[in-house]
Structure 1
Amino acid sequence: MADKRYYGQFCGLAAALDVVGERWTLLIVRELLLGPARFSEMMENLPGIGPNLLSERLRALTEQGVVTSAPVPGDGRGKQYRLTPLGEQLRGPVLNLARWGMGFLTEDTVGTSRATWGFLAVQAMIRQSEVPEVDETYEFVVGGEIFHIAVRDGVAHARRGHGTDPVLVIDTDTDTFIRVGAELLSPFEALATGKLAISGDHEAVQRCSRLLGLAERRTRPVG
């Protein structure tokens, strides 16, 4: 790590960038926000990084106390990486960055997408100021990945897996879900073209739309 460059500034932002500002680092954190992962799984999910660079980034994050590794349960030789409690504190900033970055997505920047990224996308889209007063569950099937939003006591939480008695189910592919979130495609256009299917109570659909900032949404101007 002797060749690592530091900003050398007595500033919290600069100190944070010293830890996570290198290329690929936050994308590694993104993968680990989804859960523990083996080295091979991260290589598969981060096309273009290269094994040496991934090893270097993981080593740096481990030295900073952001990432740790442990044997894979039931596999004496396997090892998986996970975020430490310190690393888990990056969830909020990463989701805020993802929400901010959606405004920069264009049809010209379309690239690799994964169903599990839909789970992070929906977390980024949740607006706690629009949480419904009624306790209910919304289920999402995005590219085969299943997750849900549970609204309980005025707080909305996104969790992986099936929800309990969902009042609506939203089914779509990963690209469509991200395009809707990035305002490249309106929910109405996605419904009309069959790329998005919604089943459930109409009023619950409206509440969920407000929660995710999709109510009355139109596609943003391009160019």
Structure 2
Amino acid sequence: MKQTRERRTYDQQCGLAYALDVVGERWTLLIVRELLLRQRRYGELLEALPGIGTNLLADRLGFLIDAGLVRSLDPDRRTSGYELTELGQRLREPILSLARFGLSYSAHRPAPAGGVTRPSWAVLAVEAMIDEVPADVPDETYEFDVDGELFHVAVVGGSVSVVPTAAVDPALRVSTDSTTFFALGLGRLDPLEAVVSQAVRVVGPAAAVPRCLRLINLTGRLTGALPAPR
């Protein structure tokens, strides 16, 4: 895959400018977002990025490969899978930091008309929502099902990890649709309202619910006692 046009550069001796020379063009970080979760085939990337266009996607992937951030699983076939290199994986923390900023920035702004959501985006969103493990949260696991996208959050020894698989014997199982999930994450829906209306369904002990909410920083919107989950 070859570059189709000359790349612009800021020509500044600055770490931020160097980074933006590589990932500052439109769609580039969203491609990286998709690959942070798992390997993706070309068609999967095209579907996950509505509006990008196949030629532009090919161009962006080619540049990321040349830059050493992405590798093709089969360089002879454009439709093969893609994954991040070790260098590309180092973009996880910057992307999570940008996602935290975006969640905060957009919390009190109207949702864009016709805004698209994808269940897979919930995985990185939850990772971005977690700042640290509250002192009263014990070692336990919470499983999320967002429109069939299964992942879990595991607290072990004061550390937390977000894993894109189903959990084994979680303390809570939480299921919802992607629209409701992002409404919660963006502060546009109260968690209590979501549970009472069954837009969010929770299975597990009631005591674990507020712990889960505190962990993913939704406690500030918890305005009353939650009903016992089913």
The TM-score, its normalising length taken from structure 1, stands at 0.90
- SS at 2:207 equivalent: helix
Q: Deviations over 1:60-108 (max 9, x none)?
A: 1111110011139xxx995211000000011111111112111326443
Q: Deviations over 1:157-216 (max 9, x none)?
A: 011222121111111111111110110111012122221112222222121111111113
Residue segments in structure 1 that go unaligned for 5+ positions in a row:
none
Counting only pairs closer than 5 Å after superposition, residues 49-198 of structure 1 correspond to structure 2 as: 49-71=52-74, 79-102=80-103, 103-104=105-106, 106-109=109-112, 111-130=115-134, 132-198=136-202
Which residue of the partner structure matches residue 28 of structure 2? 25
Give 1:218 shift: 6.5
With over 3 angstroms needed to count, the CA separation of the structure-2 counterparts of 1:29 and 1:132, relative to structure 1, is farther
Alignment partners' CA distance in 2, 1:107 and 1:85 = 37
- SS at 1:130 equivalent: coil
Alignment partners' CA distance in 2, 1:129 and 1:147 = 18
With over 3 angstroms needed to count, the CA separation of the structure-2 counterparts of 1:171 and 1:131, relative to structure 1, is farther
With over 3 angstroms needed to count, the CA separation of the structure-2 counterparts of 1:84 and 1:62, relative to structure 1, is same
Residue segments in structure 2 that go unaligned for 5+ positions in a row:
224-230
Q: Deviations over 1:25-49 (max 9, x none)?
A: 0000011111111111111111111
Alignment partners' CA distance in 1, 2:142 and 2:187 = 21
Q: Decide which moves more: 116-125 or 131-140.
A: 131-140
Contact 1:131–1:156 (Cα < 8 Å) also in 2: no
Q: Deviations over 1:127-156 (max 9, x none)?
A: 224265521111111111111111111101
Contact 1:132–1:151 (Cα < 8 Å) also in 2: no
Contact 2:22–2:67 (Cα < 8 Å) also in 1: yes
Which residue of the partner structure matches residue 40 of structure 1? 43
- SS at 2:219 equivalent: coil
Paired residues in the alignment total 216
Alignment partners' CA distance in 1, 2:41 and 2:202 = 35
Moved over 6 A (4+): none
Which residue of the partner structure matches residue 13 of structure 1? 16
Which residue of the partner structure matches residue 216 of structure 2? 212
Contact 1:142–1:173 (Cα < 8 Å) also in 2: yes
Give 1:19 shift: 0.5
Alignment partners' CA distance in 2, 1:197 and 1:34 = 24
Contact 2:69–2:84 (Cα < 8 Å) also in 1: yes
Contact 2:175–2:201 (Cα < 8 Å) also in 1: yes
Alignment partners' CA distance in 1, 2:204 and 2:119 = 22
- Residue 96 of structure 1 aligns with an amino acid whose one-letter code is S
With over 3 angstroms needed to count, the CA separation of the structure-2 counterparts of 1:92 and 1:77, relative to structure 1, is closer
With over 3 angstroms needed to count, the CA separation of the structure-2 counterparts of 1:78 and 1:57, relative to structure 1, is closer
With over 3 angstroms needed to count, the CA separation of the structure-2 counterparts of 1:92 and 1:164, relative to structure 1, is same
Contact 1:139–1:170 (Cα < 8 Å) also in 2: yes
- Residue 40 of structure 1 aligns with an amino acid whose one-letter code is G
